[in-house]
Amino acid sequence: MSIDPPAAGARPAIEIDGLSKWFGQHVVLDRVTTRIASGEAVVVIGPSGSGKTTLLRCINLLEEFQEGEIRINGAPIGYAVGPDGQRRRKPEREVAAMRAQLGMVFQSFNLFPHMSVLRNVCVAPIKIQGARRDEAEARAVELLDRVGLKDKVDAFPARLSGGQQQRVAIARALAMRPKAMLFDEATSALDPELVGEVLAVMHQLALDGMTMVVVTHEMQFAREVADRVVFMAEGRILEEGPPEALFEAPKSDRLQAFLKRTRAGYLP
């Protein structure tokens, strides 16, 4: 099912091999395999409950998974097989070090409410990467400028609109100089008129060559920005490929039905 990434020859930044996750009888992810090349923007679409968000959360181990392997730049994350053949979770310190290499943006922003915007952006570089305070702050201001919020450095999150909060959250993730960015329905909690400002920041990031995995319901964004679109349903990748191929010539019935529903909206 999987196809070669567009940047042929480039070392895949994120490799997902036979990833499975289940709760008891309920299978959430079913042998998901895909490659995300360095610099590639992959958009994951699919109906709710299809496992898109879970897949994303597995990549930085905010969710456990039972089978398969995920490698970031070649290094397996999360689990190691011991000499006894038992698969064990790696120590939290190693997991945290791996997470520091990936930026994540959440549906509900999740800024730290007790910190100013500036502190939100520079706290992790200072505390986790040991950056010097003045340097981290200067970089935070620069990143906030990039997302158009230079004038909000001293504001607290509660004072910001949803769109502004989400842009701060993107700056916060970028401050760690991540190897890849994971977006978990970053615009789903926003008022419609605030969606554009966040998508614009994400679009720019993709143009800058950031490796991105984007879970979204914004089909227009998927068309314009994605190097590759992945369609998931019931925990499986049913179809993946360039956006034109998926949107103009969907092969599977599920994707055809899904696209029909999302396009139709509530028009008669």
Could you tell me what percentage of the chain is helix, strand and coil, using 3-state DSSP and rounding each to the nearest 5?
40, 25, 35
Rounded to the nearest whole angstrom, what is the least distance from the CB of residue 219 to another protein in the complex? Answer: 26
Task: Using the minimum distance from each CB to another protein, give the nearer residue, 33 or 107.
Answer: 107
Task: For the segment 48-67, give every residue that binds another protein (CB under 8 A).
Answer: 60, 62
Binding mask 124-163 for another protein (x = CB under 8 A): x--xxx--------------------------x-xx----
Question: 8 exposed, middle or buried (CB, 10 Å; 0-12, 13-18, 19+)?
Answer: exposed
Task: Using the minimum distance from each CB to another protein, give the nearer residue, 59 or 255.
Answer: 59
- Name which position in 123, 189, 245, 259 contacts another protein (CB under 8 A): 123
Rounded to the nearest whole angstrom, what is the least distance from the CB of residue 98 to another protein in the complex? Answer: 8
> Is position 188 an interface residue for another protein (rule: CB under 8 A)?
no
- Name which position in 19, 45, 143, 173 contacts another protein (CB under 8 A): 173
What six digits make up the tokens of 207?
A: 């143009």
Rounded to the nearest whole angstrom, what is the least distance from the CB of residue 222 to another protein in the complex? Answer: 23
Question: What are the helix (H) ranges across 80-226?
Answer: 92-99, 117-127, 133-146, 162-174, 192-207, 219-225
**Contact 102/182 with Cβ under 8 angstroms?**
yes
> Is position 245 an interface residue for another protein (rule: CB under 8 A)?
no
- Name which position in 81, 97, 138, 249 contacts another protein (CB under 8 A): 97
> Is position 112 an interface residue for another protein (rule: CB under 8 A)?
yes
Task: Using the minimum distance from each CB to another protein, give the nearer residue, 82 or 130.
Answer: 130
Which region among 95-103, 144-152, 189-197, 210-218 touches another protein (by CB under 8 A)? 95-103
Rounded to the nearest whole angstrom, what is the least distance from the CB of residue 110 to another protein in the complex? Answer: 4
Rounded to the nearest whole angstrom, what is the least distance from the CB of residue 123 to another protein in the complex? Answer: 6
Per CB under 8 A, residues contacting another protein are: 60, 62, 92-93, 95-97, 99-104, 106, 108, 110-114, 123-124, 127-129, 156, 158-159, 172-173, 176
